[in-house]
Amino acid sequence: MKQVKPIKPSGDKYADGGGMYLLVKATGKYWRMDYRHLNKRKTLALGVYPEVSLAKARKRREEARELLADGIDPAQSKRDTKQAQIIAAGNTFEIVARQWLSKTAANRAATTQEKITNWLQSNVFPVIGKQAISTIGPRDVLTAVRKMEARGAIDSAHRVKQICGQVFRFAVAEGTAERDVTTDLRGALAAVPKGHFAAITEPKQVAELLRAIYGYTGHPYTVAALKLSPMVFVRPGELRAAEWSEFDLDTAEWRIPATKMKMGVEHLVPLPTQAVEVLRGLHALSGHGRYVFPSIRTGERCMSENTVNAALRGMGYAKEVMTAHGFRAMARTILDEVLGERPDLIEHQLAHAVRDPNGRAYNRTSHLPERKRMMQRWADYLDSLRKGADVIQLREA
């Protein structure tokens, strides 16, 4: 067969060899192939001209003949392939991931569920969400997490890779994927930067953390400690051991005695209005006792040193991502690099050793009016982040 286009509709068949022919009807020109399989005569549709050219029809004929040589019915193989495509279309990564999120929701806190969902929606679904999960390879997942790595979210990139692995393992159990392809990505991402205390310092991630804290539904003492930790950024031990006798809520001041301070010097913490509000609410619960954050088991001791860290873990923040001590690094970084506060005021408020131009140590009340204003600006900024204000990213290193 040399020419297809000039053939007029006649209902005739025009042979091309190997069982293939062109069936010409008034409705169109159809490529067909007659063959025998298991002693039965069958016909295979190869396509419609001109969408399927003569060359493409011949290629499909040869593919069908190869299947027959292997004892496979090409028509059945075509139906199986089409069915697999239909199934795959209903099992995209996004569909399977949302099934996994739904079926495992009871295993995690609501704030963690929201965080994981947001991670997937923002970083993974736009890249591989519409692909059939059975067709996704390691490099597809790597493309998604590398975009996170490129913008400096290395901790989150590692977490998202782990989440993708859980989705793939769920798909394996459901029969929609063969294996967890993320196992091939071991060592493919940059290592999480090591620090003495893990901390979140990017404003956008701080906003997510604050929303998680304000959505946390743990014990009221723990909730209050979580809310105050970023606002006053004292050392975790200083916060959990706070006593009501140290506070003057009317003047909005907290005086931590020298015996509790690392440097052995009394420390004064100006309290923003938001902190005073949290403390007044807490006073109704623990104000009758010694400690602001008493142990739940006994009021004779203060809150356990693991309480805030355990709450962070419960909200989905691994120890490599955020710690109770990390709130200090968070404040120090953002107060300097985003809000442009004076470094000496920041260091003084962190209770670090700060000296004046003559080399003398500042006393506890040095620059108190300025520090009060700084602490209020800081608390207001945290509120604006939590409520969704425009975020100014840190300058690149």
Which amino acids are annotated catalytic? Answer: 235, 262, 325, 328, 352, 362
User: Within 10 A of 154 (CB to CB), how many other CB atoms are there?
Assistant: 17
Using a 10 angstrom Cβ sphere, with 0-12 exposed, 13-18 middle and 19 or more buried, the burial of residue 60 is: buried
The residue whose two tokens read 């005021």 is 345
Nearest CA to 275 out of 342, 372, 340, 388 is that of 372
The residue whose two tokens read 């690392």 is 262
CA distance 189 to 191: 6
The residue whose two tokens read 């040193």 is 305
Using a 10 angstrom Cβ sphere, with 0-12 exposed, 13-18 middle and 19 or more buried, the burial of residue 227 is: buried
CA distance 73 to 300: 80
Q: Give residue 191's region: left, alpha or beta (phi > 0; psi -120 to 50).
A: beta
Contact 292, 247 (CB under 8 A): yes
In 3-state terms, what secondary structure has residue 150? helix
Do the strands 20-25 and 28-37 form a parallel or antiparallel pair, or are they unpaired?
Answer: antiparallel
